[in-house]
């Protein structure tokens, strides 16, 4: 077995999982992650859609869902939107790991492995690389709880822009990381296909 394949597998396994898998088979992990990400994506779209409609209808002076009444929804959405990117990263890497387990010929991986190691190291250090996002989430959480307990919280009216900013930052970082991950995995899998074809 090519040591570069084994090295790549170890790099992938170094990603901190969103769930403690124990000895669960890789196929079962993929199925569970697919279901989990589907549910989380649906909830994120639902919560984000309601919040966006609330903001837009208030600007247009229409009655849909008042911003002052969705503090709990905003708090729940924080959990969904923060977890979703990491579940998608893990799903993509787990699928890639399954492909690696069926490969016996792999050349020219050193550079791709180092790039992957850098990406995963950054993903693992969530607090350091996302401190502003977490700080913004904490502020939204505190003010959301305050809003739920007090209808006279005027500060909550000014939280629309921070909430939109929070969503924008999370999705921008996700797009950037997912793009890098996809590029690296595609390059590696193309290398496998070419090597298998040549051999």
Question: Which backbone phi and psi does 19 adopt, to 5 degrees?
Answer: -135, 145
Per this entry, what is the length of the chain?
199
87 vs 110, higher pLDDT: 87
Q: Any idea what the Cα angle at residue 135 is, between residues 134 and 140, rounded to 5°?
A: 95
Q: Is the pTM of this model over 0.75?
A: yes
Encode pLDDT of 127-171 as tens digits: 888 899 999 999 999 988 888 877 667 888 888 899 999 999 999
pLDDT of 193 > 70? The answer is: no
Q: How many CB atoms lie within 10 A of CB 112?
A: 19
pLDDT, residue 197, reads 43
First to last CA, the chain: 15
Q: What percent of the chain has pLDDT over 90?
A: 50
Q: Is the dihedral of CA 76, 78, 83, 84 positive or negative?
A: positive
């Amino acid at each position: 077995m090519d040591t570069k394949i084994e090295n790549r597998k170890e790099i992938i396994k170094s990603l901190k999982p969103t769930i403690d898998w124990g000895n669960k088979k890789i196929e079962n992990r993929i199925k569970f992650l697919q279901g989990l990400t589907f549910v989380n994506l649906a909830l994120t779209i639902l919560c984000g859609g309601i919040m966006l409609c609330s903001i837009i209808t208030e600007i247009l002076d229409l009655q849909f869902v008042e911003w002052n009444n969705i503090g709990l929804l905003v708090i729940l959405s924080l959990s969904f939107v923060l977890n979703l990117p990491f579940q998608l990263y893990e799903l993509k890497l787990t699928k890639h790991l399954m492909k690696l387990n069926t490969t016996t010929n792999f050349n020219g991986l050193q550079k791709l492995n180092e790039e992957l190691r850098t990406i995963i190291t950054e993903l693992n250090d969530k607090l350091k690389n996302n401190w502003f996002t977490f700080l913004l989430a904490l502020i939204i959480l505190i003010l959301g709880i305050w809003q739920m307990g007090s209808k006279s919280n005027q500060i909550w009216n000014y939280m629309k822009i921070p909430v939109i900013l929070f969503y924008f930052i999370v999705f921008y970082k996700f797009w950037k990381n997912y793009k890098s991950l996809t590029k690296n995995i595609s390059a590696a899998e193309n290398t496998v296909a070419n090597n298998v074809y040549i051999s």
